[in-house]
Amino acid sequence: MEKREQLYEGKAKKVFATDDPKYCIVSYKDSATAFNGLKKGEIHDKGMINNRVTNHLMRLLAAAGIPTHYVEELSPRETLVKKVDIIPLEVIVRNIAAGSLSKRLGIPEGTKLKRTVLEYSYKNDDLGDPMVNDYHILAMEYATEEELKTIAGYALRINELLSDYLRDLHIELIDFKLEFGKTAGGEIVLADEISPDTCRFWDSVTHKKLDKDRFRQDLGGVEDAYKEILRRLLGE
């Protein structure tokens, strides 16, 4: 497949057309942003690590029956994916309180939640990705009832699969964000990325943060944390 014009440039990735309208090429960048773009920086090799970690986890999920947009890793930073219409929702899954949940509800970071929490945000940078519930999603037609049911089911199953897989690598999956898309054929598939940019990963023994919180909170050792995730997942 041949790479054609750039379709889109986001905060962490660029998307290119190919000579086949059913496929796109995603190219991961080293640039990092936080707090809705207010904080900016570079994380050396982040693009390569997020591309490889995402693809590794997408292959694992696909093997377990979750449909994804992943097709083929083309290079350390570039991946061929199915072209989808992104459903304008950030689907957040939480196992342990952290980040905005801790802040909003006054729950100390690290508190184990009695049940998994599923949250949605409407993807809109100008509005700061406001949280929405099922009623908003249906009223605003961000997704249909059937699509929402499918998305919630996949998100909870993905949480089980990833939590189990990561536990064996001594990584605790605190929370994460997913995005879904719809293919030309109308199938809902997992899209976007699953990486230290979009998940909170803590070392299960030391509880050390191995994710973008090191960048958000200026904790230092950002590059090393990303590298450590790559090493534990892909053995290098």
List contacts with ligand UDP (CB under 6 A): 90, 92, 98-101, 129, 175-177, 198-200, 212
Shortest Cβ distance from residue 163 to ligand UDP (Å)? Answer: 13
Let me know: does 62 contact 68? Beta carbons within 8 Å. Answer: yes
Of 67 and 99, which CB lies nearer to ligand UDP in the complex structure? 99
CA-to-CA distance for 1 and 18, rounded, in angstroms?
Answer: 6
Shortest Cβ distance from residue 183 to ligand UDP (Å)? Answer: 23
Of 70 and 215, which CB lies nearer to ligand UDP in the complex structure? 215
Of 72 and 164, which CB lies nearer to ligand UDP in the complex structure? 164
Burial (CB < 10 A; 0-12, 13-18, 19+), residue 40, is: exposed
Shortest Cβ distance from residue 92 to ligand UDP (Å)? Answer: 5
Q: Give all strands (DSSP E) within the chain, no chain letters.
A: 3-9, 13-18, 23-28, 31-34, 39-42, 70-73, 78-82, 85-86, 89-96, 112-122, 131-132, 171-182, 188-191, 199-203
Structure tokens belonging to residue 123? 């993807």
What dihedral do alpha carbons 151, 155, 161, 165 form, nearest 10°?
140
Of 78 and 90, which CB lies nearer to ligand UDP in the complex structure? 90
Distances (CA, A) of 133 to 117, 118, 198: 12, 10, 21
Shortest Cβ distance from residue 197 to ligand UDP (Å)? Answer: 6
Shortest Cβ distance from residue 196 to ligand UDP (Å)? Answer: 8
Q: What are phi and psi of 26, to 5 degrees?
A: -100, 135
Of 9 and 145, which CB lies nearer to ligand UDP in the complex structure? 9
Of 48 and 117, which CB lies nearer to ligand UDP in the complex structure? 117
Distances (CA, A) of 232 to 158, 160, 165: 19, 19, 11
Shortest Cβ distance from residue 11 to ligand UDP (Å)? Answer: 9
